[in-house]
Structure 1
Amino acid sequence: MTTQPALKDYLQLHFIVLIWGFTAILGLLISIPAVELVFFRILLSILFLAVLLYVRKKKFSMPVPEMLKLMSTGALIAAHWILFFGAARVSTASICLAGMATSSLWTSLTEPLIRGRRISVLEIFLGLVVIVGLYVVFHFEFNHALGITMAIGSALLAALFSVINAGFTNKHDAFVITFYEMIGAFLTTGLFLPVYRYYLTDTQTLQLNPTLTDWLYIAILAGICTVYAYSLAVRLMKKFTAFAMNLTINLEPVYGIVLAFLFFGDAEKMTPGFYFGTVIILAAVLLYPVLKRNLSSLKLKRAAAKTS
């Protein structure tokens, strides 16, 4: 059960969305391919988390069924990251981030099924508005079809593990949750590497030799974008519904596109249709709290009218 979020919670949520908007930029700055990048990112994340948990004297132990659930969720996270960075590589950071905006629609469909609550017409409507915005982007940027398809798949997986994680937050510490999920993500990526090597690479070789600059960027991905931001997001799930969080995360393309333009300049310059579609997506994000508040007031007035 979520509690009413405070201003501090909203500021923290937007701060981690800003951090995540930077991940696609880091993914393009790192020279090794997406799968190898995810492998090293998760490995460093586990090491950072292990040290953090040891220093804070957090208990690692938990029932095996719970541990397996967390590790299974980690498998979804690994697949999400592989598709995310892959989308940025085959298209652009902006296209990747725009495709991720569909996570709110997926959440509006999956959260009621997994959490056992009623489907919200408002959430479905706003999710479809996001899809309209995405269609506009897709229509004007058709040459990036593969990238946007991979990004949509990544968004679906993000919605799933967000909804699932909401059920863990009242049982376990956020850093412990992240630790076991990273172990599951690491095992999943490790098992995927042979398949990736023999069937999805041109040379049938893995690039497991990051440069010193790569290691620096991967360390930032692991320490700030994963351990810090992801653990904070898990903690914020006590205050926000999965849909409210993922709808706010739709602002990630805005932060990411601005950062991408600052880093890559004309390489990230898109058509006017792309930005029009992005505005539609943003409208859905900004309308949600307004419409939800108005609908709640309308329901209260109707209830009061019936009792009078």
Structure 2
Amino acid sequence: MNEKSHLNHLLLLTVATLFISTSGALGKFIAMPTPVIIWWRAALAAIFLLIFCLYKGINLKINNGKDRWTFFIAAVLMGAHWITYFYALKLSNVAIGMLSIFTFPVMIALLEPLFSRTKFDPIHIVLGLMVLIGIYILAPEFDLGSSHLQGILFGLLSALCYALRILILKGQVAIYNGTMLMFYQVAIIAVLLTPILYFLDTSNITTQYPYVILLALLTTAIGHTMFVNSLKYFKASTASIIGSAQPVFGIIIAYFFLNEIPTIHTFVGGALILATVIIESIRSKIK
């Protein structure tokens, strides 16, 4: 890869990270029940991605029944990740919600030996402890009645769902197109969440649709697809180092659009969490 094309790919990866970062402010801002937001996000993203797949002639065939089950489980985990993440944003704020889910790279490192033949690395215990200290600093008080702590717990559950989804899908990325994988996941999420439309209030869509379209198109269809495609040009470790700028972008966006000002606890706890992501990414690059 020459210098100019490398810089272009790096710029596209940074833009993808910025687009994905809009999920924090949009998730906090959209005034609808969380499962309804996720249904609209998934359904609209599925339409956008299907149009893109048909336009590009991307093969949508799933090879066998085992892969169908993998797609289905990955979609359930992705849906659970989005719903718990948006609850984290609504209960706390964009900074805490986004920083809590960025514990997922360390969760992946700790869980990976259970999914593949990789040996357990004791350094991951140290990184896990750094993350726990970061979360402890993030939480203003360990009172289960505190909405901030509830937000952190939802964020951690969201990170666990996301980590499991990545580990389950790891083998599929080499076989299937990234856009096609994303299409099936959002389509399955939309189908599974359809019954909730009968029970929850959906009337606010008449005023919220511009933000929901932004979430589905910019954050989900374009941002996530660009990020997956960048893995062709960069190691996963490089992508995750740049990806760890998401909470930073998210906090800046929330400051300008939602007037959310992070506390010193957020900065210190967040710095510890992001430091573990960068350390693990650099270590995996050296190996």
TM-score range, shorter chain: 0.7 to 0.9
Query: In the alignment, which residue of structure 2 is the partner of 1:34?
Result: 34
Q: Which amino acid aligns with 1:175?
A: T
Query: In the alignment, which residue of structure 1 is the partner of 2:100?
Result: 99
Inter-partner Cα distance in structure 1 for 2:235 and 2:64: 28
The 1:163–1:264 alpha-carbon spacing in structure 2 relative to 1, beyond 3 Å, is: same
- Cα root mean square deviation, aligned: 2.6
1:240 aligned to 223, 235, 239, which one?
A: 235
Query: In the alignment, which residue of structure 2 is the partner of 1:229?
Result: 223
Identity between Structure 1 and Structure 2 (%): 24
Structure 2: any 5+ residue segments left out of the alignment? 1-5
Query: In the alignment, which residue of structure 2 is the partner of 1:284?
Result: 276
2:170 aligned to 163, 166, 173, which one?
A: 166
- The CA deviation string for residues 40-65 of structure 1, in whole angstroms up to 9 with x for no partner, is 11110111112111212222222341
Query: In the alignment, which residue of structure 1 is the partner of 2:154?
Result: 150
2:200 aligned to 206, 212, 230, which one?
A: 206
Structure 1: any 5+ residue segments left out of the alignment? 1-5, 198-204, 297-308
Query: In the alignment, which residue of structure 2 is the partner of 1:43?
Result: 43
Structure 1 residue 249 corresponds to structure 2 residue 250: no
Inter-partner Cα distance in structure 1 for 2:210 and 2:130: 39
Q: Given the two structures, how large is their TM-score scaled by the length of structure 1?
A: 0.80
Cα deviation for residue 136 of structure 1 reads 0.8
The 1:168–1:48 alpha-carbon spacing in structure 2 relative to 1, beyond 3 Å, is: same
Q: Which amino acid aligns with 2:102?
A: A
The 1:141–1:126 alpha-carbon spacing in structure 2 relative to 1, beyond 3 Å, is: same
- Contact kept? 2:43, 2:190, Cα under 8 Å: yes
Inter-partner Cα distance in structure 2 for 1:226 and 1:141: 33
Q: Which amino acid aligns with 2:186?
A: M
Cα deviation for residue 286 of structure 1 reads 3.8
Cα deviation for residue 271 of structure 1 reads 2.7
- The CA deviation string for residues 217-260 of structure 1, in whole angstroms up to 9 with x for no partner, is 1111111211122223333445434x765565333221111111
Query: What aligned pairs does 1:1-308 form with structure 2 within 5 A after superposition?
Result: 10-65=10-65, 66-139=67-140, 143=146, 144-190=148-194, 193=196, 205-237=199-231, 239-241=234-236, 245-246=239-240, 248-265=242-259, 268-288=260-280
Q: Which amino acid aligns with 1:48?
A: F
Inter-partner Cα distance in structure 2 for 1:280 and 1:254: 13
Larger Rg, first or second structure (1 or 2): 1
- The CA deviation string for residues 5-39 of structure 1, in whole angstroms up to 9 with x for no partner, is x6655544443232222101011221111110001
Inter-partner Cα distance in structure 1 for 2:84 and 2:281: 30
